[in-house]
Amino acid sequence: MANELDALISVLEKMKNSGIPTVPISPENLDFLEHYSPSRTESAPVSHCPPRDVPPKNSEENGGSQTKNYSPTEIPTIAFHGPQKKIFSSKQEHWEDLRRRVLENETLKKHVRPGKNLVFGVGNLDAKIFFCGEAPGADEEIQGLPFVGRAGQLLTKIIAAMGLTREDVYIGNIMNWRPEMDTDTGNRPPTQEEMQHCLPHLIEQVQIVKPEAIVALGATAVSGLLGYDRGRKMSSVRGNWHEFCGIPLMITFHPSYLLRNGTNRMKRVVWEDMMKVMERVGMAISERQRKYFLE
């Protein structure tokens, strides 16, 4: 058992050093680890990514041990804070803690212009669908909220066409700050390094929400989530299922691309991607919805 635990600890430490801040852990596993490694406070069994919701074992299967029965949304998660681990009893508690850690982070704050804000994700912590953009723009850094400018208004319309509201889904960005430019206007895409810096916060949001599908909006978000690949073409990866943290990932065009190329044909392309997402998460699609943007 000691060898297995050492191997586990070494994997955990590597993950932690590579910037993975949290790991989900079931109450049973936590009890087990506490029992076998009482002197260690930093280690926990991990998967890089959120486990699909597995019902907790009942006490009979457990050999009668006393284990709290958690509902899927209550399964505790763990975040590493320096040398300490923190266990949260609800998604809301974990999300608020993460949000505070991001918004009060001095290193992140250094990237924000005077009077502007860092941006953290918003939405339903039990959402089935998690939309992921690249970085805040001018409107977002003023309001401190993702997707509230023109592209955001179009995203809101896409969500409405799916029969949902922004409160039904989760919306986040890889970046927490608007990438700096020499001029006050315009945006630039974040670099891979910038995205790598912020990605752990996005991963932790995914781990909290545990969505059934993630939608990557645009090529930059795809590079941030899946890593840069010179040969990757949006035309061949969009509309197909990929995977991020073990969760199905749909790639589609960014709403700002639609604002520039808003032909019915292009709207239909994005809409077909959204219908795939709806199907994947078990949403009904009406006959009327199936015909949107058909010429």
Q: Which residues bind ligand URA (CB under 6 A)?
A: 133-137, 140, 146-147, 149, 151-152, 173
Query: In sequence order, what are the beta bridge partners of 80?
Result: 85
* CA 120/CA 234 separation, integer angstroms: 26
CB-wise, 37 or 143, nearer to ligand URA?
143
Q: Per DSSP, which regions of 113-253 are E strands?
A: 122-123, 129-133, 170-173, 213-217, 241-244, 247-252
Closest CB 143 distance from ligand URA, rounded Å: 10
Site of tokens 């592209």: 151
Closest CB 179 distance from ligand URA, rounded Å: 11
CB-wise, 24 or 137, nearer to ligand URA?
137
CB-wise, 33 or 219, nearer to ligand URA?
219
CB-wise, 44 or 135, nearer to ligand URA?
135
Closest CB 149 distance from ligand URA, rounded Å: 6
CB-wise, 33 or 250, nearer to ligand URA?
250
Q: Which of 31, 48, 172, 190 is nearest to 98 (CA)?
A: 172
Closest CB 141 distance from ligand URA, rounded Å: 9
* CA 262/CA 202 separation, integer angstroms: 29
Do β-strands 129-133 and 213-217 pair in parallel, antiparallel, or remain unpaired?
parallel
The letter for the amino acid at 53 is: D
3-state helix, strand, coil in the chain (%, to 5): 40, 15, 45
Going from the C-alpha of 228 to that of each of 29, 93, 173, 193, 200, the distances in angstroms are: 35, 33, 17, 11, 16
Q: Residue 78, SS3?
A: strand
Q: Which two tokens stand for residue 222?
A: 């795809």
Closest CB 206 distance from ligand URA, rounded Å: 16
CB-wise, 213 or 215, nearer to ligand URA?
215
CB-wise, 140 or 273, nearer to ligand URA?
140
* CA 186/CA 138 separation, integer angstroms: 8
- Rg value, the chain, Cα: 20
Closest CB 97 distance from ligand URA, rounded Å: 22
Closest CB 172 distance from ligand URA, rounded Å: 9
Q: Which two tokens stand for residue 31?
A: 């009890």
Contact yes or no for 118/124 (Cβ under 8 A): no
CB-wise, 98 or 221, nearer to ligand URA?
221
Closest CB 173 distance from ligand URA, rounded Å: 5
Instruction: Output the residue with the shortest Cβ distance to ligand URA.
Output: 133
* CA 248/CA 240 separation, integer angstroms: 10
